Amino acid sequence: MKHKYCFATFFLLYYVFPACGQQVADSVVRQPEKLAEVEITGYPSPQALVTTPASVSMIDSMLLRFRVQPALVSSFNMVPGVRMEERSPGSYRLSIRGSLLRSPYGVRNVKVYLDDFPLTDGGGNTYLNCIDLTNSSRIEIIKGPDGSLFGANTGGVVHLIPSGINEPVKPAISIGGGSYGMFHEDAEAGVQIGKHVLGIQESYYRSDGYRINSAMHKANIRLSDKWQYASRSSIKLFLSYSDLYYQTPGGLTLQQEEDNPRNARPATATLPSAVAQKAAVYTKLLFAGITHKVALNPHLDHVLSVYGSLVDFKNPFITNYEVRKENTEGFRTYLEWHDIKTTESNFHYTLHLGAEWTQSNADIHNYDNNGGLKGNLQAQDNITSPQYFFFTRLKTEFMQRWMVEAAVSLGYAGYHFKGQPPVDDRFHPQWMPKLATSYKLNNHVVIRALVSRGYSTPTTAEIRPSNNLLYTGLQPEYGWNYEAGIRLNMLQHRFMAEATVFHYRLQNAIVSHLDNSGNAFFTNAGGTRQTGLETNISYKVWKENNPQSVVSGLYFFNSTTWNAFYFRDYRIDDNDYSGNRLTGVPAIVNIFGISCDFIKGFNLSATYNHTGNLPLNDANTSFADPYNLLQASVGKGFRVHDTDIKLSIGVDNLLNETYSLGNDINAAGNRYYNPAAKRNFMAELKIRF
């Protein structure tokens, strides 16, 4: 039956829709104005996406229209090479090109920026699940290591750009509900008063969850002020607070999943159940930052961002009750020297010189967990984790056709444990270079290539995991990435296609394991050999307003990821895992999407996701089955005076698949499975004044 669905979807997208698109193109004249060229703002200076030498993808308004659930898990998974998992509501894991290998939970070896501020702390962790991603104007994803500009990472960089932070937004509110007790609402407003752009945004989400012990609620509020005190100089203030709670049902064995996928992890002969221990995560995050941008003269700009955060974290788990108090502070600054571009000039350059420093302190206490209540103290540690690096970058452009970029950084990292005895360890300084180039063959085709080095130190949670032991022998992972690609940009930016091939050799790869109690611990796994191909095609077709036309707009895309990821030189005791597939990484992911706008404000969107099988342990003795997901939504837009209103209804997992949206890899007792919800529905009302 699954193969029939696959074939039907393939036939529909490759034969029927292109034919419809041809009829649309032949019957009417497209709108004469062309779409604006897309710019990437995550780099120190903005640059056009089509000529960027790196592999960069964007989650923008076009992809967001396919979203069915309030969370952006499906939106991230539409990007080739990117995989976001949600083992239970609120528990996110983010992978770029296989970096999920070392993340039993959370986000590691991927650097995340929130506007101008690093969201990744000095310990290498990112509280991505505390951020309201749905109120991002767009999300930029740099795939592959880019330590030359952004410090320690071996997977890539994510740049979150909140809405209303740079330009005022009209007041808007949305409210929705759905299966399993899901309810959400959010509101935002912005106003410009003189030279100030003020913004406020709040949101709330709750769900009872599909599984037992998988309820969640999250509240967010965000304030911002951008003061443009001169034509090329500004000060930006940013403040956000989030309160997140989610229950953790725990992993199941295959037999337990088949018996009842909605169950939480049951008790064993030696350990209580997740329900009995009230297993859950409580996280409160306060984040603040200020950015000053100034033009010192027509050629020289300076940017300084100062930021900090406070985290209150509690995690009653099956074996213990962890309490963490964390604080982080840091800055990022750089100078930009550039020429003044003219159409007559055949040579342009931009030079950056900067530094970034972040330090986090974590005060950790582990207690006995007596049915969700703190008991006797098991262990206590205080850890300080500083990271800093210096970077420089030279970007040149010849004949408005050939771009060459060279960058390098020198990074430092370490940690200090105030225990008995105290432990003070500093990793060797690391050079992280990058050389990249792109060449415009004509107005429609750009070829590109790059080589870069990635480096990522063990995080605080890996050196001192939840089993209360110190793993001071854990070493940083590092590797060289080589890639080449081609981009097509045609029909006034309406048709875009991209293909990228890469080869990444990672040394000392950090791999996660789960012991019999479910505690995570980590080891270095020798190395990996990661070769992949990523393709992405999108086509936007518009028609002029024609009362006799049924379809007023059409958009479709396809993204495909092929992964040939293998371990090398990986031996544990008498076991040799060299040549095995990389744990937790599917060999293929293929996604199709189509969105049609009809007359009178109706819209229909659908996406199909085929994810191949993936190994669940390093030995490759257990695999998760491939699955096929179908999501669809229908909406109706209204305009009443100056108010835009949209009502939408969506369905997730239309094929009613049994699958895990996030597996526990290398889990003891073969508890790999975290079943996702069966077919479920939601409805939403949006009003923008």
User: What is the structure's pLDDT at 467?
Assistant: 75
Please report the pLDDT score of residue 30 as a whole number: 37
Give dist(CA 452, CA 506) in Å, integer. Answer: 12
Q: What is the SS3 assignment for 598? A: strand
Measured at the alpha carbon of residue 211, what is the angle toward residues 582 and 312, in degrees to the nearest 5? 75
pLDDT of residue 530: 95
DSSP 253-309: -HHHHHH-TTPPPPP-SSS--TTTTT-EEEEEEEEEEEEEEEEEETTEEEEEEEEEE
Residue 87 and residue 673: Cα distance in Å, rounded? Answer: 9
Specify the amino acid at residue 446: V
Residue 4 pLDDT = 39
Q: What is the pLDDT of residue 35?
A: 56
The encoded tokens of residue 389 equal 């690096």
- At 247, is the secondary structure helix, strand, or coil? strand
Q: Which of 130, 126, 140 is nearest to 456 (CA)?
A: 126
Here the tokens at position 143 are 């795939």
**Structure confidence at residue 482 (pLDDT):** 98
User: What local confidence, expressed as pLDDT, does residue 196 receive?
Assistant: 96
Helix segments in 107-207, DSSP class H = 147-150
Spans of all domains in the chain: 2-188+196-688
Cα separation, 183 vs 176, whole angstroms: 6
463: nearest Cα among 524, 516, 505, 421:
524
d(CA 335, CA 355): 10
What is residue 58's predicted lDDT score, i.e. its pLDDT? Answer: 93
Residue type, 451: V
Sign of CA dihedral 473, 476, 477, 478: negative
Burial zone of 634 (CB within 10 Å; 0-12 exposed, 13-18 middle, 19+ buried): middle
Buried b (16+ CB within 10 A) or exposed e, 441-476: eeeeebebebebbbbbbbbbbbbbbbbbeeeeebeb
Closest by CA to 389, choosing from 408, 374, 365, 362, is 408
Which pLDDT value is given to residue 463? Answer: 83
521 alpha-carbon distance from chain centroid: 23
pLDDT along the chain (689 residues), means of 10: 39 36 35 62 89 93 86 92 91 85 72 95 91 89 93 92 91 96 96 96 96 97 96 96 97 96 94 96 98 96 98 95 97 94 83 97 95 94 94 94 96 86 85 97 96 89 78 87 96 92 91 70 85 96 68 91 93 88 94 92 95 94 97 94 94 96 89 96 96
Q: Does domain 2-188+196-688 have CATH number 2.40.170.20?
A: yes
